[in-house]
Amino acid sequence: MLHCLDHSTASTLSRSSSSAAAASPVLAWEPHQPLSAASLYVYLQICRGPFARLSSSGHNQPPSPADPPPGWPLRARGWRRGLYLEPLPRGAPPRQGGPERTHGNESSGLRGREGPGACPARAGDASTAARAPKARESSMSEQELKDMLRELVIYLIFLIDLCILAFGMVSVDMYHLNTVMSRLFMEPAEGKDGFGTIRSKADFWKFVQGPLLDGLYWDKWYNNTTLPFQNYSHIYYENLLLGVVQVRQVKVRNNTCSIYPYFRSFLDDCYSDYHYQAEDRSDDALRNESEWKYTPADPFTPWYLGNMGLYSSGGYLFTLPKSKQESMEKLASLKQNNWLTRGTRAVFIDFSTYNANLNLFCIVRLVVEFPATGGAFTSIHIYSVKLLRYITHYDYFLASCEIIFCLFIITFIIQEAIKIVKLKREYFRSGWSWLDLMLLMVSILAIIFNIYSTVEVSLLMEELLSDANVYPDFYFLTFWQVLYNNMIAVNIFFAWIKVLKYVRFNRTMEQLSSTLSRCAKDIIGFAVMFFIVFFAYAQFGYLVFGSQVEEFSTFQKCVFTQFRLVLGEFEFENTEAVNRILGPIYFISFVFFVFFVLLNMFLAIINDTYSEVKADYDMMPGHKVPIRDLFRHVSKHLRNYLI
C-alpha cells in the first residue's frame, strides 16, 4: 500500500538526512504489500516530482524494474525537488497531522497537501489516480510545446535575418581584391625588389622611387598607348585611386636613452625605442613644407599597433602629387634633404582605391618599422570593405533585413526588461540570461557602428568630391567598419550558441549539460594544476630559447607555441640547435608531463563523469519531451493550418 506522508510524519519515519526530509514529501509503502514500477511512476507523477533514478541504500545492486522485495528501502531523487521512498513500519498510520485540502475536483477522490508538490491522500481508486497524472502531464506537455514552439520559431526567424546580414557583408571578391593588391607591391615585375625586401633606409628609398610609383600610377595600356583618364590613375585598369597618397613618419628625439659612461667619449647621439614620451614633435625652422612640420594626432584616429611598438596617428607627413613625374621629383628632394633620420622609427604609406565593378573600397597601408636595433621590418595591411551599401536591389533587401534586425532587438530588450523586473535577482542566476544580455549588448554595439559608419562615409565622400587633391582618410572608416564586422561575427556566434537553449529538453543535450555541470569543480581544480605546469614550461622556454628562436621570442609566443606542441606541431630542430642539452630535456619532459599525463587526466575526468551520468539516465524513464515529439507537434499544426 502506498501512502503520502506530510512533513511532520516524514521527519519521524524517514531515516534520510534532515535537510532532504524537510524539503521533500515522503512517499512510503508497507513492506508486506507488493509495489510495481508502474505504480511507483504513477504516484511520483502525481506528486509532481519526476524522478531521475531509483537507487538502493544498504544493497549492492540497484532495484529492478519489477516489484521490489519487501523491506527494500528505495529512494527517488527528483529533478525539481527531492523525493524519498522509504518502507513504512508495520502498524504506522498512513497519515498523521498536517493540514489537508482538497485540490482539483472533489469527485476525483484525490486529497493532498496544499502546494505544487502535493501527494494524493490515498491510493484508493487506481483508475482515477492513473487518469489524473496523465491529464496533468498531457496538459503540461501541450503548454510547454506551444511555448517552446513559439519561441523557437521567432528565434529562428531572427537567426535567419542575422545570417543574411552577416553573409551579405562579405564575398569572395574581397579576398581576390586583397590578393592582387598585395602581389602588386610584394611581388613586383622582374628585376625589381618588392616591399618585403626592405632591410634598411636605403632600400626604402629604392622601393618608393621604383615599385611604389609603378604600382600607383597606371597611365599607359599594355601596348604603351596613353590612357584617357586625365590625371586619374586606375590600378590594374579597374581600381580608381582616390585622392592622393599620404606618407607619414614618426620619430624619437635625440638623447632619449642613457649611454654607459665608458662609451660616452665614442657616442654622442642616443635614440631610444618609440614611445609617446620620447616622440619628436619639433619643427624645422628653415623649411615651411608640411613634411618638415609636425602634425598633431587626431583624437578620433586610432593608433597603430606594430611589431615594435604602439605608434600615434601624428607625425611628419606629405602627399604625393597626381603626376608620376612630380612624385618622383618630390621623393628625390626628400631623399636628398635627409627626410629620414636616425630617429625615424616608422613610416606609413596610405592610399585608397575604389572598384566600381564590385562596389568595393580597398584601403592599403604599407608600414616600415626602423627599430633601435637598426635594420627594417615591413608589414602590409589591405582591407576590402563595402562602404557604399545601398545601390542594388539586393542592397535594399539587406537594408530591410537591418530594419527587421533592429525591431527584433527592441523586442528582445523589452522582453528581457520585463523578466528582470519580474524575477529580479533570480534572473541573473541563470546562464542563459547572461547569454541573452551578451547577445543584446553586442547587437546594440553593431547597430551603433553601422549608423556611425554610414554617416561618416557620406560626409567623407562629399569632401573628396569637392577636392580630389586631398588624402581621403578611409583608413579611419575602415577601422570602424572592421569593428562592425567583428561585432556581427561575435553576435552570430552567440546567436548560434543560444540555439542550445531551445534543444536542451533533448535527452542527449541534457546528458551533455549534466556532464559539464557535474565535473565543473574537478575541471577547475585540474586547470589550476595544468596551468601551473604549463606556464612554468613557458617561462623556461622563453628564458632559454627566446633570443634565438622566433617561436619563443616573446612570452606570448611561448604560450601559443606550447599549445601547438600539444596538437603535434613543433620544430624540434630549432630548440636543439640553440641548446643541445636543455632543448631535448624541455621537449621530452613537456611531451611526457603535459601531453601524456595531464591531457589524459583531463579526458579521464570527463569520461568518468559522462559514464556516471549515462548510467543515471539509463535507469531513468524519460520525463522530458523527446525532440521527435516536438517535430511531430509542428507537423501536426502545419497540416491543420494548411487544411
Query: Per mean pLDDT, which of 30-39, 127-136, 211-220, 229-238 is the most reliable?
Result: 211-220
pLDDT for 633 equals 63
| Higher-confidence position of 319 and 617 | 319
What whole-number distance in Å separates Cα of residue 387 and Cα of residue 23?
62
For residues 263 and 463, which has the higher predicted lDDT (pLDDT)?
263
pLDDT over 70 (residue 574): yes
Higher pLDDT, 210 or 91: 210
Q: Of 88, 130, 104, whose CA–CA distance to 4 is shortest?
A: 88
Residue 206 has pLDDT above 70, yes or no: yes
Look at the block and give the residue holding cell 547577445: 439
Q: Determine the pLDDT at residue 230.
A: 64
- Residues with Cβ < 8 Å from 267, sequence gap 6 or more? 259
Q: What is the 3-state secondary structure (H, E, C) of 518-551?
A: HCHHHHHHHHHHHHHHHHHHHHHHHHHHCCCCHH
Is residue 523 within 8 Å of 599, Cβ to Cβ? no
- Strands 316-319, 239-251: pairing kind: antiparallel
216 against 102, higher pLDDT: 216
Q: Which residue has the cell 609617446?
A: 276
8 Å CB contact between 195 and 380: yes
Question: Out of 32-41, 195-204, 342-351, which region has the weakest mean confidence (pLDDT)?
Answer: 32-41
pLDDT on residue 201:
92
Distance from C-alpha of 171 to C-alpha of 39, rounded to nearest angstrom: 62
188/210 Cα distance (integer angstroms): 10
Residue with cell 596610405: 350
Q: Where are the beta strands (DSSP E) in 45-199?
A: 51-56, 74-78, 84-87, 101-102, 111-112
Of 24 and 516, which is predicted with more confidence?
516
Strands 234-235 and 111-112, by their bridges, are: unpaired
- Quote the strand ranges of 453-504, DSSP E: none
Residue whose C-alpha cell reads 549534466 in the numeric block? 514
Q: Which residue has the higher pLDDT, 116 or 415?
A: 415
590 phi and psi angles, rounded to 5 deg? -65, -45
Angle between helices 520-545 and 582-590 (to 10 degrees): 170
The mean pLDDT of 578-586, rounded to a whole number, is 90
* H or E stretch covering 557: helix 555-566
Q: What is the mean pLDDT of residues 560-568?
A: 88
Average confidence (pLDDT) over 110-114: 38
Tell which residue, 445, 449, 442, has the closest CA to residue 494.
442
In the block, cell 612640420 appears at 293
Give helix 555-566 / helix 520-545 axis angle, nearest 10°.
120
Q: Which helix (H) or strand (E) holds 418?
A: helix 393-423
Q: How many CA atoms lie within 13 A of 164 on its CB side?
A: 18
> Which band of pLDDT confidence, cut at 50, 70 and 90, is reported for residue 628?
low
C-alpha cell recorded at residue 463: 569632401
Q: Is 562 helix (H, G, I), strand (E, B) or coil?
A: helix
Query: If we measure between CA atoms, which residue out of 353, 324, 350, 383 comes closest to residue 240?
Result: 353
pLDDT of residue 570: 81
Q: What is the rounded average pLDDT of the residues 330-355? A: 93
Strand (E) or helix (H) holding 247: strand 239-251
Task: Write out the three cell numbers for 447.
Answer: 547597430
**pLDDT for position 638:** 63
Indicate whether 400 pLDDT > 60: yes
Show the cell assigned to 146: 506551444
- One-letter amino acid at 569 equals E
pTM of the model: 0.68
Q: What is the pLDDT of residue 620?
A: 67
Contact 198, 207 (CB under 8 A): yes
Q: Using one digit for the tens of pLDDT, what is the confidence trace for 268-325?
A: 889 999 988 999 998 887 788 888 999 998 887 888 988 888 999 899 999 999 888 8
Separation CA 465–CA 468 (nearest Å): 6
pLDDT band, residue 58 (cuts 50/70/90): very low
Q: Specify the pLDDT at position 637.
A: 65
CA-wise closest residue to 227 among 241, 238, 237 = 237
What does the pLDDT average to over 481-494? Answer: 85
Residues 400, 197: Cα–Cα separation, whole Å? 48
Crossing angle of the two packed helices 599-618 and 520-545, in degrees rounded to 10: 170
- Per-residue pLDDT at 5: 43
Interval 420-443 mean pLDDT:
88
* Whole-number average pLDDT of the chain: 76
pLDDT for the residue 316: 93
Residue with cell 552570430: 492
Q: What is the mean pLDDT of residues 191-205?
A: 88
Residues 6+ apart with CB under 8 A from 575: 541, 545, 549, 552, 583, 586, 587
More confident residue, 141 or 178: 178
Distances (CA, A) of 194 to 47, 109, 182, 520: 79, 92, 10, 53
258 has a pLDDT exceeding 70: yes
- Kindly tell me if the per-residue pLDDT of 232 is higher than 50: yes
Distances (CA, A) of 540 to 544, 556, 582, 590: 6, 13, 10, 11
